[in-house]
Amino acid sequence: MTVTTRFAPSPTGRLHVGNIRTALHNWLLARKEGGRFLLRIDDTDAERSEERFVDAIRADLDWLGLTPDGEVRQSERFALYEARFEELRSRGRIYPCYETAQELELKRKIQLGRGLPPVYDRAALKLTDAERAKLEAEGVRPHWRFKLAHDAPIGWDDLVQGHKAFDPRTMSDPVVRRADGSWLYMLPSAVDDIDLGVSHVVRGEDHVSNTALQLQMFEAMGAEPPHFAHSALLTGAEGKLSKRLGSLGVDHFREEGIEPEAVRALLARLGTSDPVEPFVEPEPLVAGFDFARFGRAPARFDEAELKGVNARIVHQLPFERVRDRLPAGMGEAEWLAVRPNLHTVAEAAEWWRVIEGPVDASVPEEDRGYLAEAAQAAGAIDWADDPWHALTGRLKERTGRKGRALFLPLRLALTGRAEGPDMAALLPLIGRERAVERLRA
């Protein structure tokens, strides 16, 4: 069996962090098993689907490095859904219903008021042919439901949640098609999974009840169902479901200077007992991916943790990976010198300004004489090898200073900052002429 997974977003908005995590899990499983990762655009809702969101989904996956092995669009597969629909209708597994939304809501309220589960009562199945003909003659167009079999419980072994079981008698027959002929999610998704050979459906635990319904659809269509894995939902840093998570997506991450490698590294391990590690390349994440390591409790997403992972990723990025995002004139030596002090690649520009100057330095009055001597020493030392240690060595010998008293005034005068990159790496980049000028100033 070729492992085939699919990520199936609706192009009615931008991907958020929960969507991204689902896409990543599907991609990791397919890569680990040498299988296929498909992008399925669920654009059956013509009114809400927009092409700009389709483009955005593709761009976001590309930025994350989650390249699909193929793409399909549900809007181009209506003939396939129609054929399956007619097949199931002819066998009595899909039936027409004529209640209005208001009538259904009234039934629901009555059931709830009596302490009963709000399950559709199948009143449409009791209509005679004459009654249905009368309704249609009056212009009432039916919506369509899939008839659940009530003869046995629905169960499966979920790769994350363990064994799941549902009593179909406590579930409403799901609507699969609206009165205007448009499709709802349930049936087209199952039809696609069969047609595309999807072996594993990987999605959030909010789809667990959908899976119970779709398992009967697979059976009704004579197909072996895929394996299912329902990941626990994400919560915010405050420990509860957060509306903010719905607004965090690739645009936000890019604005914050987050690297795609950091997003992958965090979301791949979130919800497991494994430590989050700053892997620049995805291979270790792929090799270690295992649904058995995921817990059932909600996974906590913390932007502060993501930023911490991001800094550790940035500290590993080679010059070639960031060249196009650095200030003009900044080369590999400058990048390697400042890289250990960065949280984002964009911060490199600040240190480039420090190297190039001028700097705004504020030095205590009692250090002015010391810095004048440092300027004289900087002009006299050999800059060919290790000017920082040559400079501090000479000043230590001449002034008797050591530790913070020796180093801090020099750093303040040379960079305008009390901390930063290793001065042994930074001073050669500043150069003799600028260093002497700053120390004299």
Where is the binding site, in residues? Answer: 243
CA angle 157, 161, 162 (to 5 degrees): 40
Question: Would you say 122 and 173 are in contact if contact means Cβ atoms under 8 Å apart?
Answer: yes
Please tell me the distance from the alpha carbon of residue 219 to that of residue 131, in angstroms, as a whole number: 31
Give the whole-angstrom CA distance, residue 265 versus residue 272. 12
Phi, psi dihedral angles at 35 (to 5 degrees): -105, -150
Helices 432-440 and 368-380, axial angle in degrees (round to 10): 160
C-alpha to C-alpha distance for 107 and 113, rounded to whole angstroms: 10
Distance between CA atoms of residues 438 and 29, nearest Å: 56
Q: How far apart are CA 314 and CA 322, in angstroms?
A: 9
**385 CB contacts (<8 Å, ≥6 apart)?**
none
Compute φ and ψ for 172, nearest 5 degrees.
-75, 145
- Between CA 381 and CA 383 the distance in angstroms is 6
Binding residues for ATP: 243
Characterize the bridge pairing of strands 94-97 and 143-146: antiparallel
Q: Is cis: bond before 358, omega within 30 of 0?
A: yes
- Contact of 229 with 271, CB cutoff 8 Å: no
Question: How many Cα atoms within 13 Å fall on the side-chain side of residue 19?
Answer: 21
Phi-psi category of 198—alpha, beta or left, where left has phi over 0 and alpha has psi -120 to 50? beta
> What single string gives the DSSP state of each residue in 85-123?
HHHHHHTTSEEEE---HHHHHHHHHHHHHTT-------G
The C-alpha atoms of residue 256 and residue 348 are separated, in whole angstroms, by: 14
Structure token pair of residue 412: 């303040």
